Amino acid sequence: MRNSFIIAFSASLTLLGSTPTKATEFSVRSVEVAASPIDQIADQLSGTWVTNAPFRSIENEDGGTTDQYMMMSIAPVQIEGMENTMYIESSLSDSPWDPFRQAIFQLYEYKGKVRLRTYTIAATEDSLGLLDGMTAVPELFIGVSKDQLIATLDVELDSSGSGFSGSTPYPYPTGVGGAVEMTSSITFDGTTLTTADRGYDAQGNVVWGAGEDSSYQFVQTEPYVVASEQENGLIILDYPASQTDMVVQEGDEMQVHYYGYLTDGSIFDTSYSRGVPYGFRFPPGNRAIVGWGEGMVGLSKDGRRKLIIPSDLGYGPSGNPRAQIPGGATLVFNVHLAGLNRPEPAPESSMENEEEAGHEGHDHGHDDHEGHDHD
Tell me the three state secondary structure of residue 66.
strand
pLDDT at 111: 92
**213-237: pLDDT as tens digits:** 789 999 999 999 999 999 999 999 9
**141-178: pLDDT as tens digits:** 999 999 999 999 999 999 999 999 999 999 999 988 89
Strands of 244-284 (E only): list them. 253-262, 267-270, 278-281
Asked if residue 8 has pLDDT above 80, the reply is no
pLDDT at 184: 94
> Quick one: which H or E segment has residue 295?
helix 290-295
Q: Are 309 and 288 in contact (CB under 8 A)?
A: no
Q: Report how many helices (DSSP H) and strands (DSSP E) the chain contains, helices first.
A: 4, 23
Identify residue 241 by its one-letter amino acid code.
Answer: A
The band of 2, judged by pLDDT with boundaries at 50, 70 and 90, is: very low
Tell me the three state secondary structure of residue 125.
helix
Identify the CATH assignment for 226-357 out of 3.90.700.10, 3.30.70.100, 3.10.50.40, 1.10.540.10. 3.10.50.40
- Rounded to whole angstroms, the Cα distance separating 307 from 260 reads 9
CATH superfamily name and code, 38-221: CpcT/CpeT domain (2.40.128.590)
Calculate the average pLDDT of the chain.
Answer: 87
pLDDT at 351: 52
**342-370: pLDDT as tens digits:** 998 877 665 555 544 443 333 333 344 44
Peptide bond into 283 cis (omega under 30): yes
Q: Measuring CA to CA, which residue among 164, 174, 60 is closest to residue 116?
A: 164
Q: Are 329 and 312 in contact (CB under 8 A)?
A: no
- Rounded to whole angstroms, the Cα distance separating 212 from 204 reads 11
> Quick one: which H or E segment has residue 1?
none
**101-141: pLDDT as tens digits:** 999 999 999 999 999 999 999 999 999 999 999 999 999 99
Task: Give, in order, the Cα–Cα distances in Å from 106 to each of 82, 89, 152, 192.
Answer: 8, 14, 11, 20
Buried b (16+ CB within 10 A) or exposed e, 211-238: eeeebbebeebebbbebeeeeeebbbbb
The band of 59, judged by pLDDT with boundaries at 50, 70 and 90, is: confident
Q: Are 372 and 307 in contact (CB under 8 A)?
A: no
Domain boundaries, the chain: 38-221, 226-357
The band of 22, judged by pLDDT with boundaries at 50, 70 and 90, is: very low
Asked if residue 312 has pLDDT above 80, the reply is yes
- Prediction pTM value: 0.82
Which residues are CB-contacts of 254 (< 8 A; sequence separation ≥ 6)? 248, 279, 280, 281, 282, 296, 337, 339, 340
Asked if residue 251 has pLDDT above 70, the reply is yes
